[in-house]
Amino acid sequence: MKIQSLQTFVVGNPPPHFGGRYFIFLKLTTDTGIEGVGEVYTATFSPAVVQHMIEDVFEMHVQDSDPFHIERLWRRVYGRGYTLRPDMSLMSVLSGLEMACWDIMGKAVGKPVYELLGGKVHDRLRSYTYIYPRAGEDLSVYSDPDLAAERALEYVDMGFTALKFDPAGPYTVYDGRQPSLEELDRSERFVKTLRKAVGKRADLLFGTHGQFTAAGAIRLAQRLESSDPLWFEEPTPPENPKEMARVARQTSIPVATGERLTTKYEFARVLEEQAASILQMALGRVGGMLEAKKIAGLAETYYAQIAPHLYCGPIEGAANAQLATCTPNFLILESIETWGGFHAEILKKPIRWEDGYVIPSDEPGLGVELDESVALANPYTGTKLHLEMQEDPV
């Protein structure tokens, strides 16, 4: 069996845009007619440029190759152009292509991908969601702790046992910085208000986006500790795990990181420095499903857990669920609310979510099928990046 053709889809994500402005999907087809889908999660170039990147890597390394030869594919792409080092854009492209190969492999042997990566460990996967605005409401829920507490209770009533929020303020290309007194006060108020509202019914996940210096993050953590969050996410910028480790050593809150990291090499440094005890790899970026499984294995040796990150479309979401299902040290899975809305419409059958848990599919491959008619009916033709940071200092 050989991979014969590629098709890409840049799909506009309609309002309210939960998961980003657009999703980049791809489909590989073999000479035997088996199709596999993947998702590329990259925010470093406009989507039209990413499409060309995918086509270039496909033509040079994937076309006419055997989809079962993942290690060979991985090395050839990782080392192309005399690199052999983590490159976020290239690893994102590789991730989507490799994901589609796993989908093909699962379909070829009639097994879910998790059965090929070690076998099912978990029958259901605890999930969390961001606290998003209600339909038709503005973005006040991100800055108003009382409104956020109301929404938190609504999510808990749906069945969620963990909720994430990020009230610390804007993130910029000039971070890390010291938090202002206003940011410290708002963050403390948020956590205390939410804890009072949900009590012991839900864990609180405090998100930041690498906004602070280690000293500033430690000051912030001291404000949060009394409310016992489950994690303090990416308290410092991602490139220096030694500085993040300073935060981890001086707070009782577990530190989580990983959405902006790729490959086992970057995650190994996080573990070696003891910078975080919760790893948040994003399967559309990290370097592929096998790479993520290797990272999870490394994490086991440090008694660290994985909590796959998601801020894109449901193909990556399905891949995250496949990895989580076969990983002993899985902690929790990020969901976009209950996997309804456009995340359901773009699939022929939505990801199954029940009472706070994602239920792993027992269908072959990734367990989801892209509805190409919906994808083609919702093209994204803009040039903006998937995510954009503030370009001026706070």
Q: What is the pLDDT along the chain (394 residues), one digit of tens a residue?
A: 999 999 999 999 999 999 999 999 999 999 999 999 999 999 999 999 999 999 999 999 999 999 999 999 999 999 999 999 999 999 999 999 999 999 999 999 999 999 999 999 999 999 999 999 999 999 999 999 999 999 999 999 999 999 999 999 999 999 999 999 999 999 999 999 999 999 999 999 999 999 999 999 999 999 999 999 999 999 999 999 999 999 999 999 999 999 999 999 999 999 999 999 999 999 999 999 999 999 999 999 999 999 999 999 999 999 999 999 999 999 999 999 999 999 999 999 999 999 999 999 999 999 999 999 999 999 999 999 998 999 999 9
Domain presence at residue 375: no
Domain presence at residue 392: no
Measured in degrees and rounded to the nearest 5, phi and psi for residue 220 equal: -65, -45
Q: How far apart are CA 285 and CA 313, in angstroms?
A: 12
Q: What is the pLDDT of residue 346?
A: 98
Q: Which of 17, 61, 69, 209 is catalytic?
A: 209
Query: How many domains in the chain?
Result: 2
Domain presence at residue 326: yes
CATH number at residue 130: 3.20.20.120
**209 and 257 Cβ atoms separated by less than 8 Å:** no
Domain boundary among 110, 144, 165: 110
Same domain, 64 and 147: no
52: containing domain: 3-110
**289 and 91 Cβ atoms separated by less than 8 Å:** no
Q: How far apart are CA 176 and CA 3, in angstroms?
A: 44
The partner residues of 165 in beta bridges, in order of sequence, read 206
Same domain, 132 and 237: yes
Cα–Cα–Cα angle for 176, 178, 183, rounded to 5 degrees = 110
Q: What is the pLDDT of residue 18?
A: 96
Measured in degrees and rounded to the nearest 5, phi and psi for residue 104 equal: -65, -45
309 is catalytic: yes
Domain presence at residue 383: no
Domain presence at residue 374: no
Same domain, 146 and 89: no
Same domain, 75 and 141: no
Same domain, 149 and 201: yes
209 is catalytic: yes
Same domain, 132 and 64: no
Same domain, 96 and 129: no
Q: What is the pLDDT of residue 273?
A: 98
Same domain, 255 and 156: yes
Q: What is the pLDDT of residue 97?
A: 98
Same domain, 210 and 70: no
Q: How far apart are CA 164 and CA 15, in angstroms?
A: 21
Q: How far apart are CA 243 and CA 238, in angstroms?
A: 9
Q: Which of 17, 69, 122, 309 is catalytic?
A: 309
Same domain, 39 and 173: no
Q: What is the pLDDT of residue 228?
A: 98
Same domain, 156 and 43: no
Same domain, 350 and 317: yes
Enter the tokens of residue 51.
């499409």
Q: What is the pLDDT of residue 274?
A: 98
- Helix 289-301 and helix 88-109, axial crossing angle in degrees, nearest 10: 100
Domain boundary among 110, 143, 174: 110
CATH number at residue 103: 3.30.390.10
Q: What is the pLDDT of residue 114?
A: 98
Domain presence at residue 57: yes
Domain boundary among 110, 142, 163: 110
